[in-house]
């Protein structure tokens, strides 16, 4: 069943209007399949404080790697405080001035060049002062309880319309003294790294601190192909044609939607927690099993990913023989707070059948692919080619499919990202949540603390939460195998 939101933001302020307009709106929000509830909620249109970091710049061009249509970032921070709306609104206005693209509008010109317009536009801040649903509490970081805490944006009508690229919702729970800060943003304006930087800045400004980290507002340009011969370029382009690293699955919008719904219907979620001790032992096992001269640079994350792959391969009819890693390239080639998406991809070579249930072999294959993808020669070609490929796809009306082909697995880890650093004055007790729905695509985050009656009883320091969806037919066997291995590492 397709999960849909029906949302009306009422009348928007005219572009150029410098005031903030509070309005009371009514909307229907699907709290759960088949359950609807009409509520009165307040909306405030928040403009960036001027001048912004963009200065006189009115247009922020998008690279091909930014054109991730139908993709979005969903986050929620749960804090043990009823938020001060006026103070939050002022902090948000200051944060938008430092991240001016977040308040922009998506534009496409007659040449199919895409950009974010930086005219005087705003984002919706939706406020529910008496939230009725339960706060998420100690649920898994990625669950299916976030719908009522987000103000959805219309991903289908962003281009050349007055549609905000980001929305924020404050859900206040008077009974528990908590506030859920839900954020939804188009992936065309930011990746997770930039979204976290924005939330940290907003958190600091709300507390009256300096806005660190701040974004260095840089106008991007497509990375040029490295200086290579025409023959070398021809050979590269020929090879790339059939290289799965540079050839994402592409579909029409309808096909992408239908495939996603079918994938959701045929898979079920799995949430596991891995402690720091278990990760350390798992890495030791992975390294110990390497042949002489094997790659000892295997990380704890590599070992966890390999555990997922080798465990599901025991039960899948079509075994995973390619692992794709999603990583952020800011640390390699550009400023830390460079705008837009800085997403790099690596994919293992086809792993031999004899290695598909071998923890050490899969860990090593993942690490070797990452090292190769981050090398100057490989990365210097990947980035401009991805720009050209994704731009061409967008111009032809194609979308990147989120449903993986059989034999594929994706790891997208935020294990080094401290999302709880955006704590709004509650560094020990803030909790972070997100959403995800793709089969055989794992997301990894630092664990939330365990909190009882407002007190931290277990900080879960060093632990990670892993979420993925798995084919329903192997769910029970897969979970039992994971539990068996993890219990042996305690």
What's the mean pLDDT when you consider all of the chain? 80
**Which run of H or E residues covers position 478?**
helix 475-488
For the stretch 29-49, what's the b/e string if a residue is b when 16 or more beta carbons lie within 10 angstroms of its beta carbon?
beeeeeeeeeeebebbbbbbe
Cα 242 to chain centroid distance, Å, stands at: 27
Which tokens sit at 292?
């002489």
Q: How large is the average pLDDT for residues 286-315?
A: 90
**CA 475/CA 480 separation, integer angstroms:** 9
**Which run of H or E residues covers position 443?**
strand 441-446
For 216, list phi and psi in degrees, rounded to 5.
Answer: -85, 105
The predicted pLDDT at position 261 comes to 79
The predicted pLDDT at position 235 comes to 56
The predicted pLDDT at position 20 comes to 31
Q: pLDDT digits over 386-400, tens only? A: 777 778 878 877 766
Q: How confident is the model at residue 250 (pLDDT cuts 50, 70, 90)?
A: low
Instruction: Pick 274 or 57 by higher pLDDT.
Output: 274
The predicted pLDDT at position 221 comes to 58
pTM of the model: 0.85
Is the pLDDT assigned to residue 460 strictly greater than 80? yes
Whose CA is closest to 76, among 142, 8, 7?
142
Determine how many CB atoms are found less than 10 A away from the CB of residue 322: 20
Q: What is the three-class DSSP state of 116?
A: strand
Q: How large is the average pLDDT for residues 209-215?
A: 72
Q: Which fold has domain 230-418+438-488?
A: Chloramphenicol Acetyltransferase (3.30.559)
The predicted pLDDT at position 10 comes to 32
**CA 107/CA 95 separation, integer angstroms:** 23
The predicted pLDDT at position 169 comes to 97
Dihedral of the CA atoms 415, 183, 336, 217 (nearest 10)?
A: 180
Is the pLDDT assigned to residue 335 strictly greater than 60? no
Q: How confident is the model at residue 259 (pLDDT cuts 50, 70, 90)?
A: confident
Whose CA is closest to 357, among 404, 320, 322?
320
Which tokens sit at 143?
């669950």
The predicted pLDDT at position 16 comes to 28
Q: What is the three-class DSSP state of 345?
A: strand
Q: pLDDT digits over 353-364, tens only? A: 999 999 999 999
Architecture of the CATH domain 22-206? 2-Layer Sandwich (3.30)
Determine how many CB atoms are found less than 10 A away from the CB of residue 307: 26
Whose CA is closest to 74, among 4, 201, 8, 167?
167
The secondary structure of the chain in percent helix, strand, coil, rounded to multiples of 5, reads 30, 25, 45
Is the pLDDT assigned to residue 50 strictly greater than 60? yes
Q: What is the DSSP letter of 112?
A: -
Give the lowest-confidence range in 342-346, 385-389, 446-450, 466-470: 385-389
The strand pair at 343-347 and 178-186 is best described as unpaired
Q: How confident is the model at residue 187 (pLDDT cuts 50, 70, 90)?
A: confident
Q: How large is the average pLDDT for residues 462-474?
A: 94
The predicted pLDDT at position 94 comes to 95
The predicted pLDDT at position 412 comes to 92
Is the pLDDT assigned to residue 157 strictly greater than 80? no
Give CATH 3.30.559.10 domain extents, the chain: 22-206, 230-418+438-488
């Amino acid at each position: 069943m397709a999960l849909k939101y029906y949302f009306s933001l009422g009348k928007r302020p005219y572009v150029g209007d410098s005031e903030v307009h509070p309005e009371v709106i009514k909307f229907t929000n699907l709290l759960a399949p088949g359950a609807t509830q009409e509520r009165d909620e307040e909306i405030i249109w928040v403009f960036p404080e001027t001048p912004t970091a963009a200065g006189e710049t009115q247009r922020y061009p998008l690279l091909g790697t930014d054109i991730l249509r139908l993709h979005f970032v969903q986050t929620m921070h749960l804090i043990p405080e009823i938020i001060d709306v006026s103070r939050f609104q002022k902090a948000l206005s200051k944060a938008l001035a430092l991240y001016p693209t977040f308040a922009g509008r998506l534009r496409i010109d007659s040449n199919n060049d895409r950009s974010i317009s930086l005219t005087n536009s705003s984002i919706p801040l939706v406020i529910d002062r008496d939230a009725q649903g339960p706060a998420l509490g100690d649920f898994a970081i990625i669950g299916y309880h976030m719908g009522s805490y987000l103000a959805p944006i219309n991903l289908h009508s962003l281009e050349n319309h007055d549609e905000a690229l980001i929305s924020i919702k404050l859900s206040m729970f008077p009974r528990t003294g908590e506030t859920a800060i839900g954020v939804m943003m188009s992936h065309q304006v930011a990746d997770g790294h930039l979204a976290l930087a924005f939330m940290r800045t907003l958190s600091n400004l709300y507390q009256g601190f300096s806005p660190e980290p701040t974004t260095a507002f840089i106008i991007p340009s497509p990375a040029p192909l490295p200086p290579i011969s025409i023959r070398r370029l021809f050979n590269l382009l020929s090879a790339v044609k059939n290289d799965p690293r540079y050839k994402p699955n592409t579909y029409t919008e309808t096909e992408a939607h239908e495939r996603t719904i079918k994938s959701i219907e045929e898979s079920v979620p799995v949430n596991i927690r891995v402690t720091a001790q278990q990760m350390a032992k798992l890495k030791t096992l992975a390294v110990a099993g390497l042949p002489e001269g094997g790659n000892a640079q295997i990380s704890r994350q590599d070992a966890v990913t390999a555990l997922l792959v080798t465990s599901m391969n025991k039960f899948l009819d079509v075994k995973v023989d390619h692992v794709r890693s999603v990583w952020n390239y800011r640390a390699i080639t550009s400023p830390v707070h460079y705008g837009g998406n800085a997403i790099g991809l690596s994919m293992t070579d086809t792993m031999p059948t004899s290695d598909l249930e071998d923890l050490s072999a899969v860990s090593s294959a993942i690490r070797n692919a990452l090292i190769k993808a981050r090398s100057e020669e490989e990365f210097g070609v990947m980035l401009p080619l991805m720009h050209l490929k994704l731009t061409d796809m967008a111009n032809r009306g194609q979308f990147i499919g989120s449903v993986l082909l059989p034999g594929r697995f994706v790891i997208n880890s935020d294990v080094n990202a401290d999302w709880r650093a955006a704590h709004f004055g509650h560094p020990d007790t803030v909790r972070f949540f997100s959403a995800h729905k793709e089969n055989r695509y794992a997301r990894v985050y630092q664990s939330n603390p365990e909190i009882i009656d407002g007190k931290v009883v277990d900080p879960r320091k060093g632990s990670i939460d892993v979420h993925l969806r798995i084919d329903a037919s192997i769910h029970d066997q897969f979970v039992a195998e994971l539990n068996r291995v993890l219990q042996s590492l305690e």
